[in-house]
Structure 1
Amino acid sequence: MTAPPPAQNDPPLGDAPVTEEGLVRVMGTRALSMGIVNMIIGAGIFVLPGLIAELLGPAAIIAYLVCSVAVALVFLCLAEAGSRVSRSGGTYAYIEDAFGPYPGFLASVLLWFGWGILSNAAVAIALVEVVAYAFPAFNSVGPRSVFLIALFAGLGALNIRGVRWGVRFSVVNTYAKLVPLIVLVVFGVFAMDWDNVVITEMPSLASIGAGTLMLVFAFGGGEIALNAGGEVKNPSRTVPLSLLIGIGIVFVTYVAIQGVAQGVLGPELAVNLEAPLIATAERAFGPWGRTFMLVGAGISILGVTSGHVLNHPRAVFAAARDGLLPSKLAAVHPRFRTPHYSILFCVTITCAIALTGAFRTLAIVSSGSLLLLYLGCSLAVLRLRQLDRTPKPGTFVIPGGWTVPIASSLVVLWLLSNMSATEATGLAGLLVVASGVYLALKRGR
């Protein structure tokens, strides 16, 4: 991902206010809004339109709206928690400071494994599906397995050698993911059959819940942009306004993409589950559209995968450094100065899961992990307020007292209730195993 661009109305550094931690408040509404947009729009939107259409048909817009509101509520909670907790660690640091080491450990596992590893495995599967759309041989187990092993071996080796290439590639990835989506929406609208987007019947609440739960996979990631909260100008105004603008842009973009795909393919969208946008571009523009979207989707999804391999081992490294995981994972390569054991650990597990998993299941379970983190952070706001009744100047406080944290918690619980028994069991099993590891580590100290 690219760094958020500076706002045009930002003052020079010499005139900008400085926080107690020494950070300069120079990030304005435009910068934070675009940071949120860039962190959210990723691989999910290239795959999910078909799955959402399968559940909701033309009524998919309802799930996008519900998910946008839910994410906005959660992000407000994350913004306040982040302004109250100054140390690194993000969501797991907020939960640990609010509730103690055991919930913090569970949060760290949900962050690096439940969301990081599982979502990256799902993204890798999506990449294989894109490749298989162009080269059907990759639908077979053998070529598929070779591709995934080579993918993670290559990304792991490159990341061990250094991070500079990954940072440069993120710039390419930003354009690669946005250009084909913009072209599809702007020109695809002329190939739409508008009868295909008419909502003829309202879906059930259960279907809306299931669709919204799946969309969490496509809306996750924006919380990373809020980690720069200490560098935001006038946070009490900038944060909520940026959230409204950023999530509004994502909502409009996603609905436009879903609408064009639905309008072009109609009922066929619900059966194009592996590469729905490629099928849409092929129908709308012909062979060149298919090639254009194939290349764009492939580069974009590869970029997201490489971003995961770049970032999530650092979460494992941080957890090991804090004593939450074996100390070996906190080792740094003597030559390349990278967390090589954490990288090897992450790519090995991710590859193994991608070889045996399915996109839909992994997307939902990883979304469930992220939702548990969101729930913990929403509740953490209430606890942090109790622990810090007189926050330091500049702390962002959500207007409305307890209303937003409570509403956020209730919405997240409703979304979690839409998981199937199998998915919920898998998520619960992860927490049980993590609890066992925590007890073992605690006894070993």
Structure 2
Amino acid sequence: MTETDKYRRDMGTFGVLFIVVNGLIGAGIFGLPEVLHVAVGEFAPWLLLLGGVVVSAIVVCFAELTKLTDRSGGPQRYVGDAWGDFAGFQVGWAFFIARLISQGANVLVLVAYAAALWPAVGEGLGRTLLIVAVLGSLTGINIVGIKRVVAALGAMTFLKLVPLLILMFAGLAAASAPGPLVLPQFSEVEGIALAALYAYVGFENATIPAGETRDPRRAMPRALLGGIAVVTLIYFGLQWAYSHSIIAGTGPDAPLTALAAEYGGDMGALLIAATIVVSVLANLTAGLTSASRMPPALADDGLLPAWFSKVSRWGTPANSIAFFGVGALIFALNSSFLVLAIISTLARLLAYIASIVSLPKLRRNAGLPAINFTILIAAPIALVLSVWATLQTSIDQWLTLAALALAGTALYFIARRNKTVLKN
């Protein structure tokens, strides 16, 4: 059995779309409206719309990349196929570790929101049991088949988007008439643009489980482009409703919850609070589903032990999924480690840059022209945006990522040495 057919391809276009949408919409958008409004006023919806359009340049490049392989790995696969095993391993390793740590951090975000609804899970045994239950159930459902993951993600996507859409349309209907649009100073936009762009980070998760996707060369481009369009419009609508409401600028800690309370009273606020919990849970599900498929991609190339790519009777990489679930649990239960979660964004940005740079070479390898019109327009915008975003990070983030890369280098050469010994 070859590496491209040993996994069951049970995920279609909608499954990929669910991962895209839930990778993008987590907890961030629920706190962002007030921050953006305070910074740039009624220009805030347009800033989010502009952010979505600009980030679409990166998404377009990834859509082109997904047409060139049907194997799992996402950025690791693209970079490895273009520049060799070492480069691909470093991208895959950094991405995997960053996602593993941030998964632990995101579980604590879920616990914090859940505790607002049910205080018993906010501390002590209740907190521990909730963390174990969440990560255990997500790990289990991934092991028994990606088809079940898609069904769960579909249900959670419905449960979180419907309340948001209701709030958005209620807010749009009640919004005050907009006045003349006043463009903010460039310095004001520059100071808040990174926060707006980070709301669009996470789409790349959907490219990783290509080996478990039916016809990924068609399904993934459609889902990526459709997902970024849907999320951009939702972000724009929610921000417009908020910025043109009486709540805007009053400083609420939970702006969308306050907006829901304005239109629906306590019941509306409770509904949005529950929506936040579902949204974070869906984001965790999408994160575990994608990141747990990175080690099998590395193992298939002989860059990690074959144990990681062992296939269960359900056609899933069960060992890798369990490894990721246990690792995330360890980080979640030892929150002192979670300061490392900040490197997740930097690792993603570097994966963006490396993947986009790989695109012309991969196209030549496939017998295609290195550049087409789409890439000619999108790639320069995507690279400038990604490089600019990396320059906004701190030296501590770079040093932490460098330490992880050094550890990965050691593992790479150990794996290569073992591979050579086995061949001999």
TM-score normalized by the length of structure 1: 0.75
Count residues in correspondence: 401
Q: Deviations over 1:327-374 (max 9, x none)?
A: 2222345x6664332222101221233344599967753222222111
CA, structure 1 residues 211+363, in 2 after alignment: closer, same or farther (shift >3 Å)?
Answer: farther
How do 1:321-336 residues align onto structure 2 when only pairs under 5 Å count? 321-333=300-312
Two-structure CA RMSD over aligned residues (Å): 3.9
Shift of 1:98: 0.8
Secondary structure of the 1:318 match is helix
CA, structure 1 residues 314+283, in 2 after alignment: closer, same or farther (shift >3 Å)?
Answer: same
Q: Deviations over 1:190-224 (max 9, x none)?
A: 55567899868535354134314532336554657
Q: Deviations over 1:65-102 (max 9, x none)?
A: 44323322112222333333354433221111111101
State the alpha-carbon separation in 1 of the partners of residues 401 and 316 from structure 2: 31
Q: Which residue of 2 aligns with 1:214?
A: 198
Q: Which moved more, 1:39-48 or 1:420-429?
A: 39-48
Q: Which residue of 2 aligns with 1:369?
A: 347
CA, structure 1 residues 246+396, in 2 after alignment: closer, same or farther (shift >3 Å)?
Answer: farther
State the alpha-carbon separation in 2 of the partners of residues 182 and 396 from structure 1: 41
State the alpha-carbon separation in 2 of the partners of residues 108 and 439 from structure 1: 15
Is 1:180–2:154 an aligned residue pair? no
Q: Which runs of 5+ in 1 are unaligned?
A: 1-20, 22-30
Q: Which moved more, 1:91-100 or 1:43-52?
A: 43-52
The answer to whether the 8 A contact 1:160-1:338 is kept is yes
Q: Which residue of 1 aligns with 2:299?
A: 320
Shift of 1:384: 2.6
Q: Deviations over 1:89-140 (max 9, x none)?
A: 33221111111101111122234332x4244334323322320221345444
Q: Deviations over 1:262-282 (max 9, x none)?
A: 43532345x52xx54334322
The answer to whether the 8 A contact 2:139-2:325 is kept is yes
State the alpha-carbon separation in 2 of the partners of residues 37 and 338 from structure 1: 19
CA, structure 1 residues 247+264, in 2 after alignment: closer, same or farther (shift >3 Å)?
Answer: farther
Q: Which runs of 5+ in 2 are unaligned?
A: 5-11, 420-424
CA, structure 1 residues 387+163, in 2 after alignment: closer, same or farther (shift >3 Å)?
Answer: closer
Q: Which residue of 1 aligns with 2:218?
A: 231
The answer to whether the 8 A contact 1:47-1:126 is kept is no
Counterpart selection for 1:349 from 324, 327, 340 = 327
The answer to whether the 8 A contact 2:20-2:224 is kept is no
Secondary structure of the 2:247 match is helix
State the alpha-carbon separation in 2 of the partners of residues 200 and 356 from structure 1: 45
CA, structure 1 residues 126+330, in 2 after alignment: closer, same or farther (shift >3 Å)?
Answer: same
Secondary structure of the 2:392 match is coil
State the alpha-carbon separation in 1 of the partners of residues 326 and 370 from structure 2: 40
State the alpha-carbon separation in 1 of the partners of residues 315 and 26 from structure 2: 35
Counterpart selection for 1:431 from 402, 405, 422 = 405
CA, structure 1 residues 293+426, in 2 after alignment: closer, same or farther (shift >3 Å)?
Answer: same
Q: Which residue of 1 aligns with 2:31?
A: 50
Q: Deviations over 1:281-318 (max 9, x none)?
A: 22331111123223333333323323433443233233
The answer to whether the 8 A contact 2:206-2:290 is kept is no
State the alpha-carbon separation in 1 of the partners of residues 199 and 265 from structure 2: 29
Structure 1 stretches of at least 4 aligned residues deviating more than 4 Å after TM superposition: 31-38, 161-164, 190-201, 218-229, 242-246, 335-338, 356-364, 385-388, 400-403
Counterpart selection for 1:105 from 89, 93, 96 = 89
Secondary structure of the 1:217 match is coil
How do 1:250-261 residues align onto structure 2 when only pairs under 5 Å count? 250-261=231-242
Counterpart selection for 1:81 from 46, 65, 85 = 65
The answer to whether the 8 A contact 1:128-1:144 is kept is yes
Letter paired with 1:305: L
CA, structure 1 residues 426+85, in 2 after alignment: closer, same or farther (shift >3 Å)?
Answer: same
The answer to whether the 8 A contact 1:124-1:305 is kept is yes
Counterpart selection for 1:267 from 232, 245, 249 = 249
Letter paired with 2:138: L
